[in-house]
Amino acid sequence: MKSKNNLQELSLAELIDKYPYIESFLVEQKFPLVRKDLTILEIYHQLSEGEKEDIVIEGEEFLSRVSAYIENMQDFLGEKETGVELLSLLAGNDKDGNQEQYERIDIKTGEIVALLGPTGSGKSRLLADIEWAAQGDSPTGRTILINGEKAAKEWRMNGSKKLVAQLSQNMNFVMDLSVEEFLCLHAESRLLENEHELVKKVIQKANDLAGETFSATSQITSLSGGQSRALMIADTAILSSSPIILIDEIENAGIDREKALDLLVGEEKIVLMATHDPTLALMADKRIVINNGAIVDFIERNNREKDILRDLKAVNDKLAKLRKELRYGKRPSLFD
């Protein structure tokens, strides 16, 4: 619960600034909002007996109600300190039922981890284990720990407080909405304050990632695969409150993958991505290698690999330039 002392010290103006939704709550409680420079208790003590009766709930008790209301709203909005600092995987079994050869893998906030392995080896399955916060109850038998403990029920059950945001390979919109309407719906559901600014930012960032630009009024059903994906990446990075981001293949989308990853890890989050792409794999701090359904290695990126990444980026830049030239009907200047 919000500490009562803390609420006691804040003036009404400060309180509303910090928790904007409290204003309508106070109005509903018939609490007069005239002196915003005073604290709730100070205002309460200045009320006439009649006004106090209107409010029904008494001073101290009223503060507890305010505190509980803020608590519930933060929970609902997913604003509360998510407090996820550590994601741990405990061994399960491979596709043949053999025990995986590690005890526990720890991933800290701010880390990017790439999942690598041949097609069908179990990368998406591992992402699904994390999304479901598996407790030995998935085909792999793995257990997921959050901050060293089994995931609390609320992570598994509560739709508004999502542990993970997932970006998957196939994304098809079915709603008949414009880009702006769609994003506003998302922002509104999170009761974000500066909704219009954020929506504008999502559209701008998504256009940064996609090749052909689209506008706020474009219908989401008319976006191309790459544009849809760019929109969902920007939406996840800017509007989502989930502490863990799971990405299943950015590479097939025809979008700027490096920018996408930079955008996603801008916030203090844990990012796990399944990939077959060497550049993305080397952009990760750590790599989980999967084979026959089992995690067979957990590797930290070394300095030599950072150098290789730099070379790869130079090659990718050349390829991007070549792609652009060909896309716009120009003769390649690559080797001029």
Ligand X SMILES: Nc1ncnc2c1ncn2[C@@H]1O[C@H](COP(=O)(O)OP(=O)(O)OP(=O)(O)O)[C@@H](O)[C@H]1O
> Which residues of the chain form contacts with ligand X (CB under 6 A)?
93-95, 117, 119-125, 139-140, 274, 293
What is residue 113's three-state secondary structure? strand
140 or 236: CB nearest ligand X:
140
Instruction: Give yes or no for a contact between 272 and 244, defined as CB atoms under 8 angstroms apart.
Output: yes
Cα–Cα distance for residue pair 286/281, rounded to 1 Å = 8
The conformation of residue 2, written as its DSSP 8-state character, comes to -
Q: Among residues 99 and 213, whose Cβ is nearest to ligand X?
A: 99
- Looking at the Cβ atoms of 276 and 286, the one nearer to ligand X is 276
**Cβ distance to ligand X smaller for residue 134 or 203:** 134
The residue (of 92 and 243) whose beta carbon lies closer to ligand X is: 92
CA 5 to chain centre: 32
CB of 250 to ligand X, least distance (A): 13
Q: Three-state secondary structure along 114-176?
A: EEECCCCCCHHHHHHHHHCCCECCCCCCCEEEECCEECCHHHHHCCCCCCEEEECCCCCCCCC
Contact 151, 244 (CB under 8 A): no
The least distance separating ligand X from the CB of residue 245, rounded to whole angstroms, comes to: 17
Q: Which H helix or E strand runs over 71?
A: helix 59-77
Residue type, 47: L
Instruction: Compare residues 95 and 190 and give the one whose CB is closer to ligand X.
Output: 95
Strands 244-248 and 270-274: parallel
Q: Shortest Cβ distance from residue 143 to ligand X (Å)?
A: 13
N-to-C CA span, the chain:
65
Place of tokens 């981890």: 113
Question: Which residues contact residue 296 at a Cβ distance below 8 angstroms, ignoring those fewer than 6 apart?
Answer: 101, 289, 290
Q: How far is the CB of 157 from ligand X (least distance, A)?
A: 23
Distance in Å, CB of 273 to ligand X, minimum: 11
Q: Which is nearer to ligand X, 242 or 275 (CB)?
A: 275
- Min dist. Cβ of residue 42 to ligand X (A): 59
Residue 100 Cβ vs ligand X, minimum distance, rounded to whole Å: 8
